[in-house]
Amino acid sequence: MPERIIGHASALKMLDQAASHPAPGYLLHGPDGIGKRLIANWFAACLLSVEEPALAAHPDFIRLKREDGEQGIAVEAVRDLLARMHLTSAVGGRKVALIEEADALNEAGTNSFLKAVEEPDEHAAYIFISEQPERMPATLRSRLVSVALMTVPAKDIRAWLGSEFDAALTERAVGASRGCPGIAKRLLEDPEAWQKNEDLARSLLVVLRDGPEGRALGELERLAKAMSASADSAKAWRGLISACERLLPEFAADHPEAFTSIGRGLVLARRFTGGSLSPHLGLEWSVVEPYYDGDIPSFLHPSYL
């Protein structure tokens, strides 16, 4: 088993055993920083019987991912991938496609993959990666071998990080990672960005907790514009929401109503991230209860779509 992947022993064992006679499709899912891409790359290399560094130049390996700044994966890119997967293997073996952020596929892209997995070409294998698998249609998910990646114990993350970083900072990062090694490493490698994100989360939680309502809504509007200007808006939102989730008990432990309403807003914001609705609409619900237009709550009104 690869030493650079920590935890996930049962998932790695299962995939290793499946490599000789794989199913048409696999879905690796779990939170950001859990190790999905590391495992997917390792499994793809196993399927092609090569070392991982050779994947990038391998003629029978195709990687598909969402372009920076784009909300979804273009159906044209999906069709191009599938056309290449239908070609004869260049080296007489398997052809492997790795689809990152599979929850960013639109309906047309999903339907194209559904047919490919239902009626796979001989020796073709598809590996899907998803942070939010519930966004993928059940029709596609049900045809994939689901591989759920669970959080890694803190002691294992601590041992993996070693003594490269300051001990106190390492301990903070391990706690903040919530069992995701990649998050801990990312925080330690860029502590300034980490601190900036934590400060933004603190200021947001304070205004959501204390109001007044007008100020809170104004701050959310400014935040939404700043996030939209980011190179990767979805990634920026996820980082901020994760920081808010970590800090919420500290800011609202003595305010049960605020804890409940802000927590509900964060759940909605995470659900909306990367979709057609802006995450800030979910956070608005923690400030103002939605009005209803018939059976439609205000944050789902067509004017927001």
Instruction: Dig out the tokens for 278 from the structure.
Output: 């802006």
Residues 142 and 236 occupy one common structural domain: no
Q: What's the pLDDT at 165?
A: 86
Here the tokens at position 134 are 């519930």
Task: Give the Cα-Cα-Cα angle 234, 279, 299 (nearest 5 degrees).
Answer: 150
Mean pLDDT of 279-300: 67
pLDDT tens-digit map of 46-95:
999 999 899 989 999 999 988 766 777 888 999 999 999 988 888 888 99
- The predicted-structure confidence for 240-260, as pLDDT tens digits, reads as follows 998 898 888 888 878 888 888
305 pLDDT band, cuts 50/70/90, is very low
Number of domains in the chain: 2
Q: Does one domain contain both 136 and 201? A: no
Residue 153 lies in a domain: no
Please check whether residues 24 and 141 belong to one and the same domain: yes
What pTM was estimated for this model as a whole? 0.83
When pLDDT is cut at 50, 70 and 90, the band that residue 24 belongs to is: very high
pLDDT at position 163 over 50:
yes
Question: What CATH number did the domain enclosing 56 receive?
Answer: 3.40.50.300
Task: Return the HEC string of the chain.
Answer: CCCCCCCCHHHHHHHHHHCCCCCCEEEEECCCCCCHHHHHHHHHHHHHCCCHHHCCCCCCEEEECCCCCCCCECHHHHHHHHHHHCCCCCCCCCEEEEECCHHHECHHHHHHHHHHHHCCCCCEEEEEEECCHHHCCHHHHCCCEEEECCCCCHHHHHHHHCCCCCHHHHHHHHHHHCCCHHHHHHHHHCHHHHHHHHHHHHHHHHHHHHCCHHHHHHHHHHHHHHHHCCCCHHHHHHHHHHHHHHHHHHHHCCCHHHHHHHHHHHHHHHHHCCCCCCHHHHHHCCCCCCCEECCEEHHHCHHHC
The region of weakest confidence among 17-26, 86-95, 281-290 is 281-290
Whether 179 maps to a domain, the answer reads no
Token pair 């990646």: residue: 149
Asked if residue 127 and residue 20 are part of one domain, the reply reads yes
- What does the pLDDT read at residue 304? 42
Q: How confident is the model at residue 290 (pLDDT cuts 50, 70, 90)?
A: low
242, part of any domain: yes
Buried b (16+ CB within 10 A) or exposed e, 163-199: eebeeeebebbbebbbbbbbbbbbbbeeeeebeebbe
Rounded to whole angstroms, the Cα distance separating 240 from 204 reads 10
Which structure tokens are listed for 114? Answer: 């559904």
141 is a domain residue = yes
Indicate if 86 and 22 belong to the same structural domain: yes
Say how many C-beta atoms besides its own lie within 10 A of residue 105's C-beta.
Answer: 27
Q: Are residues 215 and 144 located together in one domain of the fold?
A: no
Asked whether residue 163 is domain-assigned, the answer is no
- Is residue 140 within 8 A of residue 113, CB to CB? The reply is yes
Cα maximum dimension of the chain: 66
Q: Which amino acid is at 204?
A: L
Among 26-35, 89-98, 108-117, 246-255, the minimum mean pLDDT is found in 246-255
pLDDT value at 302 more than 50 = no
Assigned domain for 154 exists: no
Provide the pLDDT confidence category of residue 303 given band limits of 50, 70 and 90. Answer: very low
203 and 132, same structural domain? no
What tokens appear for 150 in the block? 């669970």
- Residue range(s) defining the domain that contains residue 70: 9-148
Q: Are residues 195 and 136 in the same domain?
A: no
Q: Assess whether 117 and 198 both reside in one domain.
A: no
Give pLDDT tens digits for 206-229: 988 887 888 888 888 998 888 888
**Sequence letter at residue 16:** D
**17 and 69 both lie in a single domain:** yes
Task: Specify whether 19 is located in the same domain as 131.
Answer: yes
